[in-house]
Structure 1
Amino acid sequence: MVITSNFKPTSYWWEAAPIGPANAVTPPPGVDVAVVGYGITGAHAALAVARAGRSVVVLEADGIGSGSSRRNNGAIVPYLFQKQYELEARFGKVQGTEIARIAVDAVDFLLETCDELGIHAQVRGFDRYFLALTDKHREKMYHSCALQAESSVNTGWVPISAEDLQERTGLSGYAGSIFVSNSLTFHPGIYHQGVIKAAEDAGAVTVAYNPVTSVRSTTNGTLLSTPKGQVLAKDVIVATNGYTGAPFNYAKDGLMSVRIYNSATEPLPDGNKAAQFAARHLLVDSSPTSPGSGQVRTANAFL
């Protein structure tokens, strides 16, 4: 919904990291590995494969950097958008805990990548609050904290009362909150751009605006058809995440569905922000869209 005449339809992140060109017009006829999707996941996959000395082509359906890797709120979070009790209910305690720990480790991996590749992704710290709208919502979040502590999943979540929340932030009308000290934000476009440069410097071939239309197994590997030509790959990495569809519908079973909405205001005057909040906070309404759906309606307010 557009509510202003000067609505900006493009991501703020694209100003410093615009949608980029590919380094090839057509895919090579054969490679060791084909990576499908060139978001952050696909870029890291291509970098790892190229550094290992294997030939790799990346097949991107749209422009490079046009997807969610450069259209998000820029938060670096050591958790998934499913609470610990939801992970354990779906995958069991052992696997649910391991999945949660992978998300914690991913933060260290991202920061180490910035250092290794010299990516100046504008990483900054701030306080984050997950807001509970009802007593039931609060108790579920507190329960998730307890399960994390029990399983030694170090997300830094701390339950706080409604009174403590109001004292810290000035917000009233909420049933409580989860407080996360020194959460991190970054510029996802600059980060993504940096990993892509490293992958291509290492030898990755990339073809944009070139969706995979069909996949067929052969005795020599997997044949992928695209509008710009066919490529035979010994191995295929599907890195399409939330964009996964035909011809990779089978991969959807491995995805955890989370529905998240992002919206942004126009830049606000400093005086306006300072009058409302004296400190920098990220406030999150993470109430479920429906009980047991595994989907979250997330509204972020960075103040």
Structure 2
Amino acid sequence: MAQAADNGHTGSWYAASMNDRNERPALSGTTSADVCVIGAGFTGISAALHLAEQGYRVVVLEAVRIGYGASGRNGGQIVNSYSRDMDVIEARYGVETAQALGDMAFEGNRIIRERIEQYAIECDLKDGNLFAACNERQFEALREHQQLWERYGHGRLELLGPDEYRREIGSNRYCGALLDYSGGHLHPLNLVQGQARALESLGGRIFEHSPMTELGHGQPAVVRTPAGDVHAERVVIAGNAYLGQHPGQRSVSELLQRSMPCSTQVIATEPLDESRARALLPTDRCVEDCNYLLDYYRLSRERRLIYGGGVSYGGRDPASIEAAIRPKLLKTFPDLHDVRIDHAWSGTFLMTLNRLPQFGRLNDNVYYAQGYSGHGVTCSHLAGRLIGEVIRGEGARFDAFAGIPHLPFPGGRRFAVPLSALGAWYYALRDRLGM
């Protein structure tokens, strides 16, 4: 079973099957740019591509490899909206903020599809995602969820009852599901790599193995790396959960205090024969359940079942990823007791206290976007577009997010881990009891 890779990536099925194996050089010496983007994941590459399309000279600095972090390790599911939905946003932050964010809640999905078509990115795009209810309380919540999204203009939904959902999922675990026809799933590492190649075709430059060691504020700003530096009129910080791993990144400490890295684990089975795969997911859509500590799964192009679940607060991994995830897989699909696991990996995402993404400015020419709290595939692509807008002087949509207050975790990251784990235990107990 693959746990590590010799290509600079984690030992995931994505890394084993990625399209682009070209390695970019590290930054050496001094260079200049209109915009320097820190981080070559979905947020950074999306922002850089939008900016390059507008004619900006862009340099991207990546500490390891393009898509090394959550962007190249996630479940590959295109799920609309945010980790907190519009009813919660409206209750906490008012109707105006909820309407502004609601108008953008389904845009990240559209951006992904536009990029795939515009730049002919091969990333195994398939349509449709399902939210599966494990009990009646969750099923009623899905009914309300459908009504809420329809109120915000999203109507491509179908609520499936206890018998209907079985045309989509070959498991007895659920009592119903909500099908979002506009969602989908794909190979996330190939998606981010495809956008990186598009950026380079427009003159953008990407340097791998080039972590930011220091950010010098000023006009221009200076971003330093171990072997070089970039002088840029503007800087975009897009390191997300992997920001702060270098001691020199204390200059962005305020971003670290308002977020917490969390890891989730994923396994990929051996390729399944067609009849067995079809019995699991007859229409080849992706699924996530409605539990607080949710499971999520889908089929790859090779008919591997990619199955993930659970959260480790603070970004720590369990001793055995397969031992942690295989019981979850068998609870959903008991007939897979004999299946071989070929790949197991983890990825770290960034969670915020209010579960909403953090957009903002450190000063007049340094912008950031982070903390998607498990909804990063779509929201990171929206973030890239909004960063492109605010840098060209159209900041209203960016500021709708930037105006949301974000508090640090009580006690900082040191105490956030046990407190969050305690909260997760409570909600997991509610899920098991059907409360």
Conservation of the 8 A alpha-carbon contact between 1:80 and 1:100? no
> Alignment partner for residue 28 of structure 2, among 26, 29, 36?
26
Alignment of 1:87-102 (within 5 A): 87-102=89-104
- The structure 1 residue matched to 2:254, chosen from 247, 250, 253, is 250
Q: 2-side partners of 1:168 and 1:189: how far apart?
A: 26
Instruction: Identify which of structures 1 and 2 has the higher relative contact order when contacts are C-alpha pairs closer than 8 Å and 6+ apart.
Output: 1
Are residues 286 and 263 of structure 1, via their aligned partners in 2, closer, same or farther at CA, if it must alter by over 3 Å? farther
1:124 matched residue in structure 2? 126
Per the TM alignment, residue 26 of structure 1 is displaced from its structure 2 partner at its CA by: 1.9
Task: Determine which of 59, 64, 67 is the counterpart of 1:65.
Answer: 67
Q: Secondary structure at the match of 1:184?
A: strand
1:76 pairs with one of 75, 78, 82: 78
Aligned pairs for 1:88-237 (under 5 A) are: 88-126=90-128, 128-152=129-153, 154=154, 156-166=156-166, 169-181=169-181, 183-218=183-218, 220-237=219-236
Tell me by how many angstroms 1:192 deviates: 1.8
Counterpart AA for 1:101 = D
TM-score by length of 2: 0.58
Q: CA deviation at 1:237?
A: 0.9
Distance 1:37 1:49 in 2: 15
Normalising by structure 1, we get a TM-score of: 0.80
**2: CA distance, partners of 1:190 / 1:51:** 20
Aligned to 1:292: none
Report the Cα offset of residue 34 of structure 1.
0.8
103-112 or 177-186, which deviates more: 177-186
Cα distance in 2, alignment partners of residues 169 and 124 from structure 1: 16
Per mean C-alpha deviation after superposition, the further-off stretch among 186-195 and 15-24 is 15-24
CA apart distance, 1:166: 4.2
Alignment partner, residue 423 of structure 2: none
Give ranges in structure 1 of 5+ residues lacking alignment.
1-5, 290-296
Question: Which sits farther off after the overlay, 133-142 or 245-254?
Answer: 245-254
Which of 1, 17, 20 is 2:19 aligned to? 17
Answer whether contact 1:46 1:56 (CA < 8 A) is retained. Answer: yes
Counterpart Cα distance in 1 of 2:112 and 2:40: 17
Residues in 1 aligned to 2:283 and 2:115: alpha-carbon distance in whole angstroms = 29
1:78-112 CA-partner distances (Å, limit 9, x unpaired): 33343443443444343234334324122222222
State how far apart, in whole Å, the 1-side matches of 2:264 and 2:29 are.
34
Whole-Å separation in 1 of the counterparts to 2:142 and 2:257: 26
Contact 2:278/2:284 (<8 A) preserved: no
Number of the residue aligned with 2:52:
50
Q: Secondary structure at the match of 2:178?
A: strand
Residue 299, structure 1, aligned to residue 296, structure 2: yes
Partners in 2 of 1:121 and 1:180 — Cα distance?
Answer: 20
Could you tell me how far 1:235 is from its partner in structure 2? 0.6
- 1:222/1:180 Cα in 2 relative to 1: closer, same or farther (>3 Å)? same
- The whole-number CA distance in structure 2 between the counterparts of 1:263 and 1:27 is 41
Per-residue CA distance 1:118-177 (angstroms, 9 max, x = gap)? 323332224x3211223332333322222222232x163333333432465453343432
Counterparts of 1:168 and 1:185, CA distance in 2: 15
* Paired position in structure 1 for 2:291: 287
Give the secondary structure class of the aligned counterpart of 1:79: coil
Percent of aligned pairs sharing the same letter: 25
From the superposition, tell whether residues 216 and 88 of structure 1 become closer, same or farther in structure 2 (CA, over 3 Å). Answer: same
Tell me which moved more, 169-178 or 139-148: 169-178
The alpha-carbon deviation at position 298 of structure 1 amounts to: 3.6
Q: Number of residues paired by the alignment? A: 288
Q: Is the 8 A contact 2:210 2:226 kept in 1?
A: yes
Q: Kindly tell me: are residues 23 and 89 of structure 1, through their superposed partners in 2, closer, same or farther at Cα, counting changes over 3 Å?
A: farther
- Alpha-carbon contact 2:75-2:296 (below 8 Å) kept: no
